[in-house]
Amino acid sequence: MASNVEFKIPALRPYPEIPALQPDAMQSKGPFVAKPVMQTPLGFPGELVENWQEKAIEKMGELLKKYRSLQVYLDSCVKCGACTDKCHYFIGTQDPKNMPVARQDLLRQVYRRYMTLSGKVVPKWVGAKDLTREVLDDWYNYYHQCSQCRRCSVFCPYGIDTAEISMAAREIMDCIGLGQKYCNEIIGKVYKIGNNLGLPEPALADTLNGLEEDVKLDTGVDVKFPLDQEGVEVLLVTPSADFFAEPHIDGLIGYAKVFHQAGISWTLSSYASEAGNFGMFIGSYDNMRRISQRIRKAALDLKVKRIVFGECGHAWRVAYSFLNTLAGPFDFLDPKYPVPQHICEFTYDLIQRKALRLDKTANDQRRVTFHDSCNVARASRMGTIPGGQFIIPRAVIKASCNHYYDMPADTIHDQTFCCGGGGGLLTDDLIELRIKGALPRMEALKYVIDHHGVTHMAAICAICKSQFTKVLPYYGFEMDKIVSVHQLVSNAIVL
């Protein structure tokens, strides 16, 4: 564990301050590169193409015409520096290229060189650079040190969103044959098997049967975990981690109990057995769309009336913000409900209608805080009012627990810090980055532990939960400090 790593785990600082720069602290070859077999199913060249420079510039030009965000953001940065201390990866690694503006500049320098007058005439003055192999290496390395969490975009006076730039950069790299193994391999699994974990239908059915038995043993009640059941009310799409590991699986049990008590019929789909959409991480509209279409097909095939998403951060961004655009219109579903709904919205509605019996004292041994997942907080909504994404999960927690405490104000809501593993970085080959990037969240957690005796941190994202399970011990916390929000509901619910 914490002892056998060859880099320094950052110390938790009593008063977080802006760190000094350590140039090239995170200079490396970057995460593992995708093999040709992982590239081709996604429609990308197997390996770095011969004329990659030319192709990359061409792709950049194409994206500039397709995405206003990219065009406006590459032009508009005034280098004011307001974003420089806002990225958790900069705070944790001190590498200046992890300052959001510097990360953008890696692409901007090439944009300027090839697409702007000043960059063509006086490149040195405006920091324009030729697209050399070194620059490409920097792209690969540092665009895989961005979790696309959008914290920088909150603080930029023009809303410049480095996530947009990272996505574009990854798309360009994919299109010249330089893909990231972790993301592209997973997308391949979704196409082939149906989910990120590569869990085939029989295994999934087995798991769900096992869960039914467990819950029966535990509570004496027949709570169902239906799979591929036609004609039910709700299709639940949840991250495949929910079928697999703690604390995710406890969340899944929570959803099932909520459905059970509400008396609303539901099903999972073995065809769309994954909520996550890694197409977003690689900035590929095509792949993101293709993955989204599975959910449409599953909803049609199973003849459901509603779609509900389980606890997953980036998945909820794609679901809330993009699904309707990519796979809509969903006019075949019940128009009484938003498409899709978040499981927290679903549970919250039931709580409001007093349709759930919750005994808060069941969680009395816990003192809970909530980690706002970056993409839920800054790229989506829940409920009907702006900021509902902050209110609703907390309301669900508070309806299930007596002891709830927020972390410091500048680390929650839309100022929340990413867990350090989002955006396609939740892979062991990036473990140093993941540990260092978790620093600001760990400091905020330490604060509520010290001041309020907090024992658990709840989250609504599969990536956050996996990431924290892994990195908490490096900072001296127990790994089971991280819990699912619906795990708390599961404990409190009186069946």
Partner 1 sequence: MGFLTSFFAVWFYIATLILIGGVAYKIYTYATTPSPLKIPTMPAPLNSTGVALRLGTEVGLFASLFRSNKWIWLFGIIFHVALLLVILRHIRYFIDPVWTWVVLIQPFGKYAGFAMVVGLLGLLARRIIVERIRYISQPSDYLILILLLIIGASGLMTTFLAHTDVVQFKAFTLGLLTFNWQPLPIDRTLLVHLTAVNLLMMIFPFSKLIHAIGIFFSPTRNQVDNSREKRHLAPWAKAQFESTHPSPSPQTTN
Rounded CA gap, 44 and 110, in Å?
22
Indicate whether 125 belongs to the interface with partner 1 (CB under 8 A). Answer: yes
Q: Is 83 in the site for partner 1 (CB under 8 A)?
A: yes
CB of 21 to partner 1, least distance (A): 6
Task: Tell me which of ligand SF4, partner 1, none is bound by residue 146, counting a contact when its beta carbon lies within the kind-specific cut-off of 5 to 8 angstroms.
Answer: ligand SF4
Q: Where does this chain touch ligand SF4 (CB under 6 A) — which range of 1-9, 77-85, 111-119, 131-139? A: 77-85
Task: Please give the Cα distance from 309 to 343 (Å, whole number).
Answer: 6
Is 495:257 a contact under the CB 8 Å cutoff? yes
Closest of 477, 474, 485 to residue 455, by C-alpha: 477
Alpha helices in 143-200 (DSSP H): 151-155, 162-175, 181-192
Contact stretch for partner 1 (CB under 8 A) within 49-57, 326-334, 455-463, 467-475? 326-334
Contact pick of 141, 162, 277, 292 for ligand SF4 (by CB under 6 A): 162
322 binds, among partner 1, ligand SF4, none (CB under 5 to 8 A by kind): partner 1
Q: Does 107 interact with ligand SF4 (rule: CB under 6 A)?
A: no
Instruction: Please choose which of ligand SF4, partner 1, none residue 148 contacts, taking the beta carbon within 5 to 8 angstroms, the exact cut-off set by kind.
Output: ligand SF4
Report the site for ligand SF4 in 410-439 (rule: CB under 6 A).
Answer: 418
161: which 2 tokens? 């969103």
CA dist., res. 375 & res. 414, Å (int): 10
Long-range contacts of 139-142 (CB under 8 A, 24+ apart): 139/106, 139/107, 139/169, 139/172, 139/173, 140/29, 140/30, 140/33, 140/173, 140/178, 141/26, 141/27, 141/28, 141/29, 141/30, 142/26, 142/97, 142/98, 142/103, 142/106
Token pair listed for 264: 């609303």
Q: How far is the CB of 466 from partner 1 (least distance, A)?
A: 24
Say which entry of ligand SF4, partner 1, none residue 87 contacts (CB below 5 to 8 A, set by partner kind): ligand SF4
Interatomic CA distance for residues 135 and 116, integer angstroms:
18
Residue type, 187: I
By CB under 6 A, residue 156 contacts ligand SF4: yes
Number of residues that make up the chain: 495
Of 49-57, 72-80, 442-450, 467-475, the segment contacting partner 1 by CB under 8 A is 72-80
Task: For residue 375, state whether it binds ligand SF4 (rule: CB under 6 A).
Answer: no
Question: Binding to ligand SF4 by residue 264, rule CB under 6 A?
Answer: no
Residue 253 interaction partner, one of ligand SF4, partner 1, none, beta carbon < 5-8 Å per kind: none
Residue 219, binding choice from ligand SF4, partner 1, none, Cβ under 5 to 8 Å by partner class:
none
Q: Please, are residues 209 and 451 in contact by the beta-carbon 8 Å criterion?
A: no
Among 7, 14, 50, 118, binds partner 1 (CB under 8 A): 118
CA distance linking residue 299 with residue 232, whole number of Å: 10
CB of 277 to partner 1, least distance (A): 12
Helical spans, DSSP H, in 302-360: 313-317, 323-327, 343-352
Partner from partner 1, ligand SF4, none binding residue 72, C-beta < 5-8 Å depending on class: partner 1
> For residue 457, which amino acid is it?
M
Structural element, H or E, at residue 369 = strand 368-370
**Which does residue 21 touch among partner 1, ligand SF4, none (CB within 5 to 8 A, set by kind)?**
partner 1
For partner 1, the closer of residues 407 and 483 by Cβ is: 407
Stretch that binds ligand SF4, among 54-62, 76-84, 239-247, 470-478 (CB under 6 A): 76-84
Residues of this chain that bind ligand SF4 (CB under 6 A): 77-83, 86-87, 89, 100-101, 103, 146-152, 156-158, 160, 162-163, 166, 418
